[in-house]
Amino acid sequence: MIPKETIDKIFEAALIEEVVKDFVHDLKKKGTGYWACCPFHNEKTPSFSVSPVKGIYKCFGCGKGGNSVSFVMDHDKISYPEALKYLANKYNIEIEEKELTSGQIDISKKKEGVFLVSTYANKFFQEQLWETEEGKLIALSYFKQRGFSEEVIKKFQLGYSPKQKDVFTKQALKDSYQKEFLEESGLSFINEKGVVDRFRERVLFPIHNFSGKVLGFGGRSLDPKNKAKYLNSPENPIYHKSKVLYGFYFAKKSVSSKDNCFIVEGYTDVISLFQSGVENVVSASGTALSTEQINLIGRFSKNITILFDGDDAGLNASFKSIDLILSEGMNVQIVMFPEGEDPDSYAQKLSQEDFHFYLEKNATDFITFKSKILNEKSKGNPAKRVEMIKDIAKSISVIPDRLTRSEYNKISSGLLKIKEEELFQEINKIRNSSKGKFVTQNTAEKTNIAKSNSAGIQKKPHQLEDWEKEILRLLFCYGDEILEFEDFDEKVKVSDYIFLELEQDNIKFSNQFYSKILKEYQDLMSENGGVNIKFFTHHESGEYQSLAIDFVSHKYNLSENWERGHQIFTLSESDNLEKTISKAILSLKQSYLKKEILKVNEKLKNEETDPKKLLLILTKLNKVLFQINKTLGRES
C-alpha cells in the first residue's frame, strides 16, 4: 500500500499538462489552457481540454474527465496504484513499498498478477539469452545472423526460452509466482501430469504497452521441423492484440516528430527498420490491422505508410488495411518492395541512406497504387476492369471528409480514364447503399457520447434535482466569490449566502448523492473556513471526481483579445453573480414548493385526513409560490 503522504507528493508534482503531453502530442496551448483531439474517442475537431490551474482534463465530446492519476489510469487501462507508480517514477518520487510476497500475490487482482509474471518472464528470457551457453549459441547467434546489433537486441529486450520443456515455469514457481497467473498469462501449462512452458526453444519478442510494460510475447521457433513458426501469447487480462502495436512504445516519439507511421508485417521488420534509422515503425504482429490500432497511431500522426511484401498475401492485407485507414479519416501511402524482398531483407541489403531514399521515392498514394495493381490484373478483360473501378470507388466512398473524397475522385477518374461524373455516381451509389450501416454506427456512437457526456452538459434546469445540481455547481465555481446585495449591509461569500438561504427555509436536497456532496462541502467549510475544489477533483470517489470536474470545466474561454484588441465586451454569469445566485436560489425554492404542493394535493385525496388543515397549508404554499413566480418573472 502506498502511504498517503507519498500520494499527496505525487499529486503535487504531477502537472496535468506535462502528464497529458506525454501521451497526447498534439496538445496545444490556447489561452490559459490546452486543447487537443481526444485520446479516448475518435474525433476530427479538438474538444479535449486541459486546465493547469484546476489540475484537470475534460473532453466535451465523450465526457471523459479527471486528474493526472485518472488520466494515466484511463489511457493505459491500469489500476490506481500502477498509475501512482508510473507518475512517481516520472517525477523521481520514491515509493517505500514492500516487495509482494506469495500471500500478497494471492489476494492481488488478476490483472496485476499477470503484469507481475509477464515482467518476471521478460527478465528471465533476457537472462537466458545473455547469460547461458544455450542462449548464446542458439538465440544470440540467430539474432546476429539477422544483422541485429547487441544495442538493438537489448533495446527491444529480446530473449530466449530454453529447449528444456519446463525450466521457466519451475523457476517461476520456485520464486513464489502463483501458478494461477502463470496459466492466465499463457506462459505456462500446468496440470496433474506436470508443467510445460509455452515458448520452449524459441527466441522471444516482448510486446509492450504504451508506457513500456510487457503485456505478452511473440515467439519464433528455430527448429525447422516445428509446424508453428510463430507462437504468440493468448488474449489475457492485460493483452488484447487488436489494441496493441508491436514497437509502438519505441516508435511513438518518432511518429510524432516525423508526422508519419510506417506499418510492417512482423517483429523482425520493425527491428531491422529501427536499426536502419527508421524509428517511426510498428507492426500489427501478424494480425489484421484494427480500428483501435489505427486510432492509437492517429493520436500522434494522421499519416500512415504501409510497407508490405509484394506477394499476393501482402497485397490482400494492404488492400484491406487501406480502406480501414481511410475510413478513420487518415491519410495512407504504400511502399512496395522488389520481388522476393521484404522490409527486413531490403533494409539489411541497402545502406541507411539508400534505404531512406527508397522509402521516400517509392511511397505511392493509395489511388495510384491500387490503379497500377488492378490495371495489371485486368488487362484485356472488361469485366475485371469494371471490378477494378468499383474497388477504387469503394475505397474513396469510405473517406469521411467530402472534400477529400472529391479530390480523390478527380485523380482517380484521370488514372482510370473514366468520366469524373460517372465515377462520382458510383461512389455515391456505394455510400447510399451503405448509409444504413453508416447511420447506425454513427447514431450508436453519438448516443454513447451523449450518455457519457450528459453530466457535463449544462442544460437549463427545470426539475428540483436539476436545481439542486445547479446550486452545487455555483458553490464549486464561485463558493469563495463575494456578493454585494443592496439589502445586505455587509458583503457576503457565495457559499455563506447559499447555506443561509437553505437553512432559513429548512430546504433539504431530495437527491441523496447531491445531499452527500453538499454536506461534505459544508463540513469542509466548517473545518477549514473554505473549500479547495481540488479536494473534490482529486477525490477517491470516481463519482465525486467526475461531477466536480464537470462543474469546473468550461468548454469555451473568451480570449482577452476580444476586449483588449477589439473593444468588444461580453458578459458572463460571473459578471452579475448576485443575479445568477439569487435566481438559482429562487428557482430551487420554486421547484421545492411545487413538490410540496403536489404532496398536499395527494393527501387531500385521502378521505381520512383533515381537509381544513391541509387546505390552510396549501393556501400558504401557493401564496409563497405566487410571490416567487412574480420575483422570478421580474428577474427573467
pLDDT exceeds cutoff 90 at 220:
yes
pLDDT in tens, 224-248: 888 788 899 999 988 989 889 999 9
Query: What average pLDDT does the chain have?
Result: 82
Contact 23, 39 (CB under 8 A): yes
**Of 288-292, 497-501, 553-557, where does mean pLDDT reach its minimum?**
553-557
pLDDT exceeds cutoff 90 at 163:
yes
Contact 299, 248 (CB under 8 A): no
CB-side exposure of 459: number of CA atoms within 13 Å? 9
Tell me how far apart the alpha carbons of residues 474 and 468 are, in angstroms, rounded to a whole number: 10
pLDDT at 568: 42
363 grid coordinates: 511511397
Tell me how far apart the alpha carbons of residues 557 and 571 are, in angstroms, rounded to a whole number: 12
**Of 348-352, 461-465, 509-513, where does mean pLDDT reach its minimum?**
461-465
- Give the other-Cβ count within 10 Å of 491's Cβ: 9
85 grid coordinates: 507508480
Residue listed under C-alpha cell 528471465:
124
**Residue range 104-239 in CATH 3.90.980.10:** yes
Strands 303-308, 261-264: pairing kind: parallel
pLDDT exceeds cutoff 80 at 279:
yes
pLDDT at 485: 66
Q: How confident is the model at residue 301 (pLDDT cuts 50, 70, 90)?
A: confident
- Please indicate, yes or no, whether the overall pTM of this predicted structure exceeds 0.85: no
- As a whole-number percent, the residues of the chain with pLDDT over 70 amount to 86
Fold assignment, 243-362: Dna Topoisomerase Vi A Subunit; Chain: A, domain 2 (3.40.1360)
Q: Kindly state the helix (H) or strand (E) to which residue 32 belongs, with its residue range.
A: none
457, amino acid identity: I
pLDDT in tens, 585-604: 888 888 888 888 888 888 88
Region 170-187: mean pLDDT is: 93
Region 48-76: mean pLDDT is: 86
pLDDT at 440: 37
Tell me how far apart the alpha carbons of residues 38 and 52 are, in angstroms, rounded to a whole number: 17
pLDDT at 459: 46
Tell me how far apart the alpha carbons of residues 273 and 519 are, in angstroms, rounded to a whole number: 60
Those residues whose C-beta lies under 8 Å from the C-beta of residue 616, and which sit 6 or more positions away, are: none
Fold assignment, 4-90: DNA Primase; Chain A (3.90.580)
Residue 36, SS3 per DSSP? strand
Q: Is there a common fold for 4-90 and 104-239? A: no
Angle between helices 577-604 and 464-478 (to 10 degrees): 150
Helix H, strand E, coil C: the string for 427-465 is HHHHHHHCHHHHHHHHHHHHHHHHHHHCCCCCCCCCCHH
Region 58-85: mean pLDDT is: 85
Contact 78, 548 (CB under 8 A): no
Tell me how far apart the alpha carbons of residues 162 and 222 are, in angstroms, rounded to a whole number: 11
| Domain extents in the chain | 4-90, 104-239, 243-362, 368-437, 464-635
39 grid coordinates: 485520446
467, amino acid identity: W
pLDDT at 314: 58
Those residues whose C-beta lies under 8 Å from the C-beta of residue 91, and which sit 6 or more positions away, are: 10, 13, 14
- As a whole-number percent, the residues of the chain with pLDDT over 90 amount to 27
Tell me how far apart the alpha carbons of residues 255 and 267 are, in angstroms, rounded to a whole number: 17
Region 611-626: mean pLDDT is: 83
Sign, CA torsion 568/572/575/579: positive
pLDDT exceeds cutoff 50 at 558:
no
pLDDT at 280: 95
Q: How confident is the model at residue 311 (pLDDT cuts 50, 70, 90)?
A: low
pLDDT in tens, 373-387: 777 777 778 888 888
